[in-house]
Amino acid sequence: MEVEGEELRKLLLQMQAQICQTLADPTRLELLYLLGEGERSVKDLMELTGLRQSNISQHLALMRERGLVVARRSGNNVYYSLADRKILEACKLTREILLDRFRRERLLAAPSSVGQHSQEAAKGVSLTQKDGDMGTRGGRT
């Protein structure tokens, strides 16, 4: 039976809500960003995040069930990768929205926008695009 019209719209909304629910956990977001750099084993993810194997495995199982990651077995190891890189693009887009909001609120909270840039420079504060990159515990600076 083919799903059409209103039924398809409701099904897609339900599926989208499931994905958003899956992404509503900082640990799962961190794992997605790490997997966005390439395929990784659970051991790799343990070393990069400092989390226990059981914790990582639970998160990966849910993400696999929801179609966000895929697993490949090689001997005794299981390697995970993103099922579709577009999910990482969606995460980065929401991160950009949050950074834009942070910048606006920061400028609104400043006593005056005059001299704001020199104040930031003096404090060593910069809100460049690089600040928007996902900072994981995975050996990045």
**What tokens appear for 54 in the block?**
């059981």
In this structure, which topology does domain 1-112+127-141 adopt according to CATH? Answer: Arc Repressor Mutant, subunit A (1.10.10)
Q: What is the reported pLDDT for 107?
A: 75
Q: Is the pTM here over 0.75, yes or no?
A: no
User: Tens of pLDDT along 3-22?
Assistant: 679 999 999 999 999 999 99
- Does residue 135 carry a pLDDT above 60? no
At 137, the pLDDT band (50, 70, 90 cuts) reads very low
Mean of all residue pLDDT scores within the chain: 82
User: Tens of pLDDT along 27-67?
Assistant: 999 999 999 999 999 999 999 999 999 999 999 999 999 99
CA dihedral of 14, 20, 24, 27, whole degrees rounded to 10:
120
Going from N- to C-terminal start, the domains of the chain cover 1-112+127-141
Phi/psi class of residue 75: alpha, beta or left (left: φ > 0; alpha: ψ in -120 to 50)? left
